[in-house]
């Protein structure tokens, strides 16, 4: 009897060791998740200052999808920032693309916000030779309803990038960068696909893409990207599974961000890498197509799980220092020598 117990004890220990061994990569992500779960408080430690530079996000979050696109256009036009509206197929929505590059001796006082014919020709020539760094965020929200704010998904990132656009327009970075607001992300990354098609047809070269989705609280994280979002772990002899907080399913293929890109980002500011907390966003589509893209989110995955696609995703929960961190990452990376 004793020998049987001892024997089964060894088998159980072996299975536990095998589980741990196979899940070494998932362990740190899981531990971080549990820490965030126990530390979670459903109030913001540092709410947005209504009079601060991100204060307009309170209003932006209440807008419906068509109004959001209009808000972005108005914001850029009011500051004389040139942009292009790129139709998303036959939907009534556009991607909004604002490229920045050093202007040389060109007058700073130009007022034309939409592209003139000459500007358009100049940009077409530049983009055929010099690859862009693109900072992107989707502006649509999953429920097109004023009561659903989608504060972290994805109002926060749009507001942060609007402030970044203002800064990049004021002090041009040394290399071509662009800000891209996509629509129709929530209905299957359709805006991302339309922009990829546009870039391919117009010979627009892309160096890398930092795609912001689900920011607004705590620090920043880069996520593995795949078709199925959630926490990936291995069951011995059975394979990889993904848990999205609601159900378990077999994991789809997922990709890690490029190691060199991660190094360059971490030179600008701290970014956690969640290699087993897979995210699906616009960056996923571009990564699959071979672009050097990364999906960046808040590093508090528990908070994101609690609010994701729920009416509880509200601006009161956002923290201003996360906006500031993301903004500094964008500006720091745009000004970094490659
Ligand atoms: Zn999103």
Q: pLDDT tens, 123-179? A: 667 766 789 999 999 999 999 999 999 999 999 999 999 999 999 999 999 889 999
Distance 106 CA to ligand 1 centre (A): 37
Distance 61 CA to ligand 1 centre (A): 13
pLDDT score for 112: 45
pLDDT score for 128: 67
pLDDT score for 338: 72
Distance 187 CA to ligand 1 centre (A): 10
pLDDT score for 286: 98
Point out which residues pair with 61 in neighbouring strands.
Answer: none
- pLDDT per residue as tens digits for the range 3-36: 766 778 888 888 888 888 888 888 899 999 999 9
Distance 77 CA to ligand 1 centre (A): 25
Low-confidence spans in the chain with pLDDT less than 70? 1-2, 4-5, 102-115, 123-124, 127-128
Distance 117 CA to ligand 1 centre (A): 34
Assigned domain for 160 exists: yes
Distance 154 CA to ligand 1 centre (A): 5
Assigned domain for 1 exists: no
Between the two ends of the chain, the Cα-to-Cα distance in Å is: 67
Assigned domain for 11 exists: no
Full residue range of the structural domain in which residue 305 is found: 19-335
Distance 183 CA to ligand 1 centre (A): 10
For 45, phi and psi rounded to 5 degrees?
-75, -20
Assigned domain for 23 exists: yes
Assigned domain for 2 exists: no
pLDDT score for 153: 96
pLDDT score for 117: 77
Distance 244 CA to ligand 1 centre (A): 15
Assigned domain for 8 exists: no
Assigned domain for 59 exists: yes
Residue 194 in 3-state DSSP? helix
Distance 126 CA to ligand 1 centre (A): 31
What tokens were used for 235?
């069951």
DSSP 71-95: HHHHHHHHTT--BEEEE-TTSS-EE
Q: What is the CATH number of the domain that holds 211?
A: 3.40.630.10
Reported in sequence order, the residue ranges of the chain that DSSP labels E, i.e. its strands, are 84-87, 94-100, 132-138, 177-182, 206-212, 220-226, 230-235, 239-243, 248-250, 254-255, 272-279, 293-298
Assigned domain for 264 exists: yes
**Whole-prediction pTM:** 0.90
Distance 214 CA to ligand 1 centre (A): 6
pLDDT score for 6: 77
- 157, with CB counted inside 10 A (0-12, 13-18, 19+), is buried
pLDDT score for 50: 95
Residue 66 in 3-state DSSP? helix
Distance 137 CA to ligand 1 centre (A): 8
Distance 253 CA to ligand 1 centre (A): 20
Total number of domains in the chain: 1
pLDDT score for 114: 65
pLDDT score for 110: 45
pLDDT score for 106: 45
Least Cα distance to 331 among 260, 156, 323 occurs for 323
């Amino acid at each position: 009897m004793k020998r049987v117990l001892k024997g089964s004890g060894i088998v159980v220990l072996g299975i536990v060791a095998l589980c741990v061994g196979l899940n070494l990569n998932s362990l740190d992500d899981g531990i971080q998740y549990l820490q965030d779960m126990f530390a979670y408080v459903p109030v913001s430690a540092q709410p947005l200052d209504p009079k601060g530079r991100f204060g307009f996000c309170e209003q932006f979050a209440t807008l419906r999808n068509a109004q959001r696109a209009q808000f972005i256009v108005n914001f850029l036009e009011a500051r004389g920032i040139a942009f292009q509206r790129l139709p998303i197929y036959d939907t009534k929505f556009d991607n909004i693309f604002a490229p920045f590059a050093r202007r040389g001796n060109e007058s700073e006082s130009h007022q034309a916000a939409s592209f003139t014919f000459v500007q358009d020709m100049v940009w077409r020539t530049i983009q055929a030779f010099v690859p862009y760094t693109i900072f992107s965020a989707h502006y649509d929200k999953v429920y097109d309803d004023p009561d659903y704010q989608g504060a972290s998904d994805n109002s926060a990132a749009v507001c942060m990038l609007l402030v970044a656009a203002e800064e990049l327009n004021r002090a041009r970075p040394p290399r071509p960068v662009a800000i891209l607001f996509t629509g129709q992300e929530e209905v299957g990354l359709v805006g991302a696909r339309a922009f990829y098609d546009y870039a391919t047809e117009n010979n627009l070269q892309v160096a890398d893409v930092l795609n912001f989705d689900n920011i607004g609280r705590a620090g920043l994280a880069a996520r593995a990207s795949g078709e199925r979002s959630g926490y990936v772990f291995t069951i011995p002899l059975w394979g990889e599974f993904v848990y999205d907080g609601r159900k378990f399913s077999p994991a789809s293929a997922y990709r890690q961000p490029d190691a060199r890109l991660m190094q360059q980002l971490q030179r600008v500011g701290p970014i956690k890498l969640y290699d087993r907390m897979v995210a699906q966003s616009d960056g996923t589509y571009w990564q699959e197509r071979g672009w050097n893209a990364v999906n960046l989110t808040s590093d508090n995955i528990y908070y994101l799980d609690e609010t994701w696609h729920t009416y509880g995703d509200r601006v009161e929960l956002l923290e201003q220092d996360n906006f500031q961190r993301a903004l500094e990452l964008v500006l720091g990376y745009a000004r970094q020598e490659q």
